[in-house]
Amino acid sequence: MVDIAGKVALITGASSGMGAATAIKLAGAGVKVGIAARRTDRLEEVKAEIAANGGEALVLTMDVADPASVNAGVARLIEAWGRIDILYNNAGVMPLGNVENLEIDNWNRMIDINFKGVLNVTAAALPHMIGQRSGHIFSTSSVAGRKPTPGLAVYSATKFAVSAFSESLRMKVGPKHNIRVTNIQPGLVDTELGDHIADPEARQQLVAYRGMIKFLDGADIADAVLFAAQAPSHVNVAELYILPTQQA
């Protein structure tokens, strides 16, 4: 296990769920965390919790779908701390619905945030990691990024894209620039994503699942990120597929 105290991380989607839990976990290990999301008020709450436990956090109001917003946030992080050692592309939305309903606005929203957001933030952070000749890029895919199911057509497509991009990126920047890449593929996690579901049938299905099995929580994913980040420098944990024990 490598000591990562003093390293600098950027975490998107850090206002709640897996992102907030990972920010708190990494800060507890001595990492300076840039916490990015659109909801600044929620980020301030996460920052306060980190500070109360002796950690250091920088609030970055960021819309990952907007390259200008991303570039401004990354520039502010670099100005404050001079480097980026860990990037966690975690921001995502899940407004599920029957594909036959042709909810094109929701499709484009998922593409813009879930996949283009990963591209935008990676593009802003990667040059700094290449310059350092070190870094670690995490991205949240999903069980839906390896097993498509009815009702998740576009969401699954965005997560398949994240998985493909992560693996291709790993093969390119690992040997050439000493940058590790880890693809996180969670199963059912107790996050706010369920609140994004407008389709009554899909929402009811999620409620039914909650009654049958114990979901993962954000801290479970944070533990996995910390594990991979603390691996020896010659070890790249390329993929973490994490499910509730009771999930088929």
Residues designated as active site: 155
**Cβ(103)–Cβ(95) below 8 Å:** yes
Exposure string for 177-188, b = 16+ CB within 10 A, e = fewer: eebbbbbbbbbb
**Which amino acid is residue 126, in one-letter code?**
L
**Cβ(99)–Cβ(154) below 8 Å:** yes
**Cβ(189)–Cβ(217) below 8 Å:** yes
The β-bridge partners of 86 are: 9, 136
What the block records as the tokens of 165 is: 């991009």
The β-bridge partners of 43 are: none
Please provide the size of the chain in residues. 248
**Cβ(23)–Cβ(14) below 8 Å:** yes
DSSP symbol at 214: P
CA dist., res. 104 & res. 120, Å (int):
22
Rg (CA), the chain: 17
